[in-house]
Structure 1
Amino acid sequence: MGRQRGPGAGSRPGCVVRAMSASQTRAAVADPGPGSRRRTWAELLAGRVKRQKLGPEGQQKVKESAVRLLWSHLDLSDLLLEVDGPPRKTLCLSQWVSCSGPEGCADPSSSLVGCALRDQASQLGVPVAVLSGQVVASGLVRICEADAGPSPEVLLTPEQRNKLSSLLEIAQNLLAHSMFSRVSFCRELWKIQNSLLLEAVWHLHVQNIVSLQELLESQADVQAVVAWLFRNLRLLCEHIEAPCPHADIGRAVLTDTVRLLVLSGFQKGVDLRRSVKLEQTPQVAAAVLGRMLTFALEALAGGMKEESPEHRTARGWFSTFSGHTYRGIISTDSPKRFFFHTLTQILTHKPVLKVSDAVQMQREWSFARSHPLLTGLYRRLLVALSPEELVSHMQEVLETCEVNWQHVLSCVSAMVVCLPDAQQLVTGWVARLLARAFGSCDLDSMVTAFLVVRQAALEGPSAFLSYADWFQASFSSTRGPHGSSKRALVFLFKFLSDLVPFEAPRYLQVHILHPPLVPSRYRSLLTDYVSLARTRLADLKVSIENTGLYGAPLSAGDVAEPHSQASQDVEKAIAVFMQTGKIPAAVLEASVFRRPYYLSHFLPALLTPRVLPAVPDSRAALVESLKRADKIPPSLYSSYCQACAAAAEMGPEGAAPGRKEEPRSAEEPLGLLTAALGELRALLTHPTQHDGLLAQMAVISERLGATLGLGEDDSSMEPVVQLSVLAPELEGQEQRVVDLLLTSFCQNLMAASSIAPPDRQGPWATCFVKTLCRRRLLPAVLTRLCQLLRHQGPSLSASHVLGLAALAVHLGESRSALPEVHVGPPTPASGLPVPELFDSLLPCGTKESSVLCLK
């Protein structure tokens, strides 16, 4: 508002006099001069009356002159902002609008601000409500622009907040007396939208002056509204994630704004408070929410640094998907509709990846390797949607849209890791996909089924069965979906053949070692595929002969270093030789039919130089049996004998020259595993963080695999585990890893028990034990338990005994899924289930052992 001059018609001199500010009044009074006592306004008027007696006409002229003087200095915007000064401490703000004293409360026209607004509206010839809207909008803008720095702001300073509070209190009183036009006010705000701060708009909404819906609806240019709100929300998300003194106010603004946008954009409704149907707001709300999610997803895909503005914005926006944000509207269907919309947008964001890309890259999209912000968003969606709804919606999106396979498969990983019944849910989903695929030769369903089950298998045995186990269970019997007709068989092998150029070696090995069951008359379909798969492995310089003797496919790490599998095969061969006294049939077959693996990997692992015992042990006996059967080349056997003699001369300190020192790089995976286990313990001590336990177990499984070279197919269990009770031994790296795991389990149990009883600690212990039950890890764990319980039992601390007892209980829960354990010296021993193994390891022959058994 500019300054208005001239009294005009219809003015109220008395009202305008009251409207003049204190500073303006002092300026209008003449200075009495130096040395004179400053007289009051009343004394000046009294003296004037004594010197000159005015008649009615003279008094009227004086009043008109006073009005002209006051109008020349009156500025309503300044008047409103001055309310924040000292008078606010002694005057109720309603007096500035409603009345100047008790006798005038019933008549708003006698109020100070009200009279000033009415006078000026009369001069301009506009309704007083329109003028008041313009004046309050002008004051709001001046507050927002005050103290504006070079960087864009979205929150007010404390001083601005105080001024705004006073201004809005005046606006509330004007509104209560029907002297305020919301329409005019909103129109004025959009004229200066670049200077309008979101917090100021939030205060208008919270104090019921103008709702955000009404403000959004008042602007005809939808794109301008979307751009303004998107800019402010982005700045606000970045602001609250940076260290700042008023982050709590920013979170309140963000929470209320998002809640309102979700309620408006995803539920058709009416503003019942004002009975005004809002048609434009849903469009604006959906557009803004979509742009914010797109910005966050692109920021994640761009690989920004953790403290970059984009990262902070994404982190702040994803935090709005927590249950706290939607408290109060959770009873409506708006949040669920919004979550479904969000999931669709995530799954279809920039679908540039092909199926072939997904087949080759999906290992990099596991839960532990996905961005933490993205997995955190998935976890919040999993809380809001039921598992059945989630799977149904994902299937609907896959059927109707082009999808981003990275987001689809990382979402599958999050579902498998975070949902307790995910294995059954995913298995049922995949079974339905296979039934549809073979029923109508639907290639899309076939692709989805294989990608989903492989992604689930990447999360380890604690979350899902291995790909090898699933493939065998699905296709190794006549009840499989492929056995219904020749058409189904042709469809299966064509699909597998088309995948061959993109397959990882571990999947080709599974298909070759555990092929689908095929009737003899269709055997050519299988042989053609096996020939193609073998050719592909040869191109990758990975021989199928490198596969373990007992049919265990190599993991990702074993493809590069097959000797790690050979060491496992040697231990199994020695165990079988101990039971039967004969060379195992698998070893004899490998020496003929898989000679490259036998000569290059198995024999070097068996003939590791060492100090030979005085009484030949089972390993030495197997070596001699193979030598007599001419299964060891003479030169290799001679080199072995010389190396063993050299080891004996070096003494115990150099007894294993063939064992190389662990490389320094091996410590890095172990350190990462230690850190992951420490984070799990920290989560257990904070009850509010228990929703992240399953996610942390996925990280531990990933790092455990990297430490020991385990793959997703390592969860396939052998039917028998051989355990040497008298002299259990472990390799150095294996023992360090197993000790770390067992110690962590005991510490976690104690930490969790200090917070909650065992039945309220969640599924962390069950998942932890499932992680230990891997094909190459379980024998090492049982060997270490044998060392501890049978040979070091009395020296264990109380916490260790308690932890091992709990471990025994959880192993007992998994009894049906665990192999039998053979214990004892070279004579054959009957197999024992794992739970009964503990009974055999705890003899009660002495007082100390009896006490340990009781504990």
Structure 2
Amino acid sequence: VKGSPKKKASLSLVWLFPGRVKRQKYNPERGQKLKNSAVQLLRRHQSLSDLLLEVEDPPCEKLCLNRLIDCDSDKAYTDGSCSFIGSAFQDQALKLGVPVGILSARTVACTMKMVCEEPSHPVLLSTEQRKKLSSLLEIAQYLLAHSMFSRLSFCQEVWKAQNSLLLEAVWRLHVQSVVSLQELLESHPDKRTVVAWLFRNLRLLCQQIDTSCPYLDIARAVLSDFVELLVSQGFQENSDLRRVEETGTMSQVGGTAEQGAARLSLPAAVGWGLRSRPHQALPCGGVSADVLKRFLSHTLTQVLTHSPVLKASDAIQRQREWSFVRTHPLLTTLYRRLLVMLSPEESVGHLQEVLETREVNWQRVLSCVSTLVVCFPEALQLLQDWVARLMAHAFESYHLDSMVTAFLIVRQAAQEGPSVFPSYADWFKVSFLGS
């Protein structure tokens, strides 16, 4: 090719990139597709903080929310700052070519992560952290009200930092109407992971309550709201754990939570909800009566069938050790609160159903019988009628298990004293010598 070196180079470039010679016409559809691809790339791979530093000269301080919510900073957040912050987000979103809702959501999530760092409690915020988070969520509320905040993007970003999240911080998102607990739990891509995270934190919260932590009222309120959510979602009408995968996401979380509760230790599994408010049986004010009863029945079943290693012969030998006064106060308190909500008729009926269909822990069953006769005088006749049916079935059908169950129940109730139940000798005379 003849000509100067510059012409040779340009011709070589034309040969390498022939499609770049002509200027392409503007295509709106192609431009939008390219913009969407850029947004996806930004959300998945880019560091937002680094990107903001790149596009600003000098570095941008407008969106540094961590300084704005710092109570000791001279740039601390004030009530009049929201409109300024919103304008800053809009300006930056325009420069970056991304939706303002995604930009603000990622920034708030990043700042929330920084607030939760170095916790003084395993699940609770310190006083300073609580103030900072409250200010941050007020900013998020303003952005939400002015359509400048994406809940979905925020949830996705928050779960990326779940190992740094404190349970109280997640709860405050719900309390301050930024993202509800249900929406947040539903947004997690892995249901097993979110259930494991939730129960690990609930266990730690129970431990905080047991040790009378400085923020006891807050801990109880957090526990109450989480219990209410799990009960309402995990014990809906016609809920079936075997079909839980076919139902909604929140039902999966609630159903898995139902199974998870059974694997916790007894105080944590069935005491966490009942102990959260001393003067109430259950902190589930927003749960319907039917759902609440299903939860209580399930809880009672879990208690009665917990670790069924003792046989009936073991129960006969050790029965005297399981009287009402010798049973652990936590367990008797649990029984009393469950039985109050279920009524004596439902309690005895459920006790009978469990004994007929499950392998039981005889210590739990008999200590429950003691609680019934000591604390609920109206249960006396119900137990006597049940024992009479067991005896009739034993003699009519030669059913030895019914006879053993009847004798264990009578022996257990009788040892609580004649003021609550007839003596064993009197019952034996009336049952076998009287009629």
TM-score (norm 2): 0.80
| d(CA) in 2 for partners of 1:209, 1:6 | 28
Counterpart residue number, 1:228: 197
Residues 81 and 88 (structure 1), Cα distance of their counterparts in 2 relative to 1, 3 Å cut: closer
Contact in 2 for aligned 1:329/1:335 (Cα 8 Å)? no
3-state DSSP of counterpart to 2:188? coil
| d(CA) in 2 for partners of 1:162, 1:175 | 20
Counterpart residue number, 1:131: 103
What displacement does 1:463 show? 1.3
Counterpart residue number, 2:57: 69
Counterpart residue number, 1:449: 406
What displacement does 1:420 show? 1.5
| d(CA) in 1 for partners of 2:153, 2:387 | 59
What displacement does 1:167 show? 0.3
Q: CA RMSD in A?
A: 2.7
Counterpart residue number, 1:475: 432
3-state DSSP of counterpart to 1:378? helix
Aligned match of 2:363 in 402, 406, 411?
406
Aligned match of 1:214 in 172, 183, 198?
183
Aligned match of 1:116 in 76, 82, 88?
88
Aligned residue identity for 2:57: L
Contact in 1 for aligned 2:227/2:273 (Cα 8 Å)? no
| d(CA) in 2 for partners of 1:5, 1:253 | 36
3-state DSSP of counterpart to 1:395? helix
What displacement does 1:197 show? 0.7
Is 2:234 the counterpart of 1:265? yes
Contact in 2 for aligned 1:3/1:73 (Cα 8 Å)? no
Aligned match of 1:427 in 369, 384, 393?
384
Counterpart residue number, 1:45: none
Contact in 1 for aligned 2:235/2:295 (Cα 8 Å)? yes
Within-5 A mapping of 1:482-493? none
Counterpart residue number, 1:380: 337
Residues 324 and 211 (structure 1), Cα distance of their counterparts in 2 relative to 1, 3 Å cut: farther
What displacement does 1:316 show? 5.3
Within-5 A mapping of 1:784-803? none
Is 2:129 the counterpart of 1:163? no
3-state DSSP of counterpart to 1:162? helix
Contact in 2 for aligned 1:129/1:181 (Cα 8 Å)? yes
What displacement does 1:205 show? 0.6
Within-5 A mapping of 1:759-838? none
| d(CA) in 2 for partners of 1:6, 1:339 | 55
Counterpart residue number, 1:440: 397
Counterpart residue number, 2:65: 79
Residues 256 and 431 (structure 1), Cα distance of their counterparts in 2 relative to 1, 3 Å cut: same
| d(CA) in 2 for partners of 1:198, 1:454 | 47
Counterpart residue number, 2:4: none
Aligned residue identity for 1:232: N
Counterpart residue number, 1:393: 350
What displacement does 1:240 show? 1.9
Counterpart residue number, 1:247: 216
Structure 1 stretches lacking a partner, 5+ long: 9-67, 99-111, 270-276, 300-309, 480-855
Q: Structure 1, residues 657-704: CA drift from partner, whole Å, max 9, x if none?
A: xxxxxxxxxxxxxxxxxxxxxxxxxxxxxxxxxxxxxxxxxxxxxxxx
Contact in 2 for aligned 1:433/1:446 (Cα 8 Å)? yes
What displacement does 1:184 show? 0.9
Aligned match of 1:2 in 32, 36, 49?
49
Aligned residue identity for 1:465: P
Contact in 1 for aligned 2:303/2:364 (Cα 8 Å)? yes
Aligned residue identity for 1:199: E
| d(CA) in 2 for partners of 1:258, 1:181 | 27
Counterpart residue number, 2:113: 141
Counterpart residue number, 2:153: 184
Residues paired across the two proteins, number = 379
Counterpart residue number, 1:499: none
3-state DSSP of counterpart to 2:184? helix
Contact in 2 for aligned 1:241/1:316 (Cα 8 Å)? no
Counterpart residue number, 1:792: none
What displacement does 1:429 show? 0.9
Counterpart residue number, 1:154: 123
Counterpart residue number, 1:613: none
Contact in 1 for aligned 2:324/2:416 (Cα 8 Å)? yes
Counterpart residue number, 2:301: 344
What displacement does 1:327 show? 5.3
Within-5 A mapping of 1:455-854? 455-477=412-434, 479=435
Contact in 2 for aligned 1:240/1:316 (Cα 8 Å)? no
Structure 2 stretches lacking a partner, 5+ long: 1-47, 239-245
Counterpart residue number, 1:97: 82
| d(CA) in 1 for partners of 2:212, 2:315 | 39
3-state DSSP of counterpart to 2:57? helix
Q: Identity of counterpart residues, as a percentage? A: 57
| d(CA) in 2 for partners of 1:176, 1:5 | 24
Residues 398 and 325 (structure 1), Cα distance of their counterparts in 2 relative to 1, 3 Å cut: closer
Contact in 2 for aligned 1:437/1:443 (Cα 8 Å)? yes
Counterpart residue number, 1:237: 206
Counterpart residue number, 2:142: 173
3-state DSSP of counterpart to 1:174? helix
| d(CA) in 1 for partners of 2:293, 2:311 | 30
Name which of structure 1's ranges 404-413 and 437-446 shifts more when overlaid on structure 2.
Answer: 437-446
What displacement does 1:331 show? 4.5
Residues 422 and 224 (structure 1), Cα distance of their counterparts in 2 relative to 1, 3 Å cut: same
Name which of structure 1's ranges 392-401 and 165-174 shifts more when overlaid on structure 2.
Answer: 392-401
Q: Structure 1, residues 172-214: CA drift from partner, whole Å, max 9, x if none?
A: 0111111111111111111111111111111111111111111
3-state DSSP of counterpart to 1:153? coil
Residues 140 and 452 (structure 1), Cα distance of their counterparts in 2 relative to 1, 3 Å cut: same
Aligned residue identity for 2:326: R
What displacement does 1:324 show? 5.7
Aligned residue identity for 2:378: D
What displacement does 1:284 show? 2.3
| d(CA) in 1 for partners of 2:138, 2:193 | 29
3-state DSSP of counterpart to 1:69? coil
Contact in 1 for aligned 2:119/2:126 (Cα 8 Å)? no
| d(CA) in 1 for partners of 2:76, 2:51 | 30
| d(CA) in 2 for partners of 1:364, 1:378 | 18
Contact in 2 for aligned 1:351/1:404 (Cα 8 Å)? yes
Tell which has more relative contact order, 1 or 2 (C-alpha 8 A, sep 6+): 2
Aligned residue identity for 2:91: D
Greater Cα radius of gyration, structure 1 or 2: 1
Counterpart residue number, 1:600: none
What displacement does 1:122 show? 3.4
| d(CA) in 2 for partners of 1:138, 1:89 | 18
Residues 448 and 97 (structure 1), Cα distance of their counterparts in 2 relative to 1, 3 Å cut: same
Residues 90 and 314 (structure 1), Cα distance of their counterparts in 2 relative to 1, 3 Å cut: closer
Aligned residue identity for 2:144: L
What displacement does 1:448 show? 1.4
Aligned residue identity for 1:171: A
3-state DSSP of counterpart to 1:261? helix
| d(CA) in 2 for partners of 1:258, 1:376 | 19
Residues 3 and 392 (structure 1), Cα distance of their counterparts in 2 relative to 1, 3 Å cut: same
3-state DSSP of counterpart to 1:179? coil
Counterpart residue number, 1:660: none
Residues 201 and 393 (structure 1), Cα distance of their counterparts in 2 relative to 1, 3 Å cut: same
| d(CA) in 2 for partners of 1:279, 1:233 | 23
Residues 327 and 372 (structure 1), Cα distance of their counterparts in 2 relative to 1, 3 Å cut: same
Contact in 2 for aligned 1:326/1:335 (Cα 8 Å)? no
